Structure 1
């Protein structure tokens, strides 16, 4: 599997979502994004931190329950430019993306979400970016 040189292949990866999935399911790119104009995404996103996955689950669109999955990439992954060098130095959130599916290998049953205040602050920030016309990078 081709990956960025600094990624530990034994690393645990997470994906936060409101989609109801089962162990063995594949998470595919091509669905509408949770951000910006919500156009069909060319990538599927994953992270090596539970914290970033929690944000992903909490900020996902839809009415479903917030869920966090442990996933394994089925192909190459790369740094997510929305949270790395194009916007922030390095990759502090250990966030990645792939054009290939992610396989659900486990479900995180117990996790602690952010406070209502933290969630409101983040949603307000995302709304401000949307008003400014700042879109997610999907090149």
Structure 2
């Protein structure tokens, strides 16, 4: 299936594979959809589903995800158009070095990654502290 990927200069940076980190226990064929609370701003219901082309980036998302389940990284396939994640692209980093994307259309799970570099407890605590600092900043905003 050919994707019509909209990005700021209409430049497709990645063809995949793509990954999504979560604590949800899912299976191949399941669809990940938008419409759930943000892991970083739980008061916001997300209009997009987020994913990355970096396996360890998905691992970070899994570690920071809400829930009590095990950290999981799924290999996903976008079912529709997707774009650079504006919350990190150009707003915080020039270009898209995090290779992060978002879509209003579902992501189809096509597999699961079993091995990746997991965060240490200290690294995870630093990430949580950084997120808390961002939330305290009145100028911080999430582009939904």
| TM-score for both structures, normalised by structure 1 | 0.93
**Aligned with 2:60: secondary structure?**
helix
Q: Which residue of 1 aligns with 2:77?
A: 72
In structure 1, list runs of 5 or more residues that go unmatched: none
CA deviation after TM superposition for structure 1 residue 8, in Å: 3.5
**Aligned with 1:104: secondary structure?**
strand
Q: Which runs of 4+ in 1 moved over 3 A?
A: none
The 5-angstrom pairing of residues 86-97 of structure 1 reads: 86-97=91-102
| TM-score for both structures, normalised by structure 2 | 0.90
> Number of residue pairs matched?
137
Equivalent pair of 2:56/2:117 in contact (CA under 8 Å) = no
Which of 87, 100, 103 is the equivalent residue of 1:82?
87
Paired with 2:120 and 2:98, the residues of 1 have a C-alpha distance of 19
Paired with 2:143 and 2:38, the residues of 1 have a C-alpha distance of 11
Q: Which residue of 1 aligns with 2:61?
A: 56
In structure 2, list runs of 5 or more residues that go unmatched: none
Equivalent pair of 2:14/2:53 in contact (CA under 8 Å) = no
CA deviation after TM superposition for structure 1 residue 37, in Å: 4.0
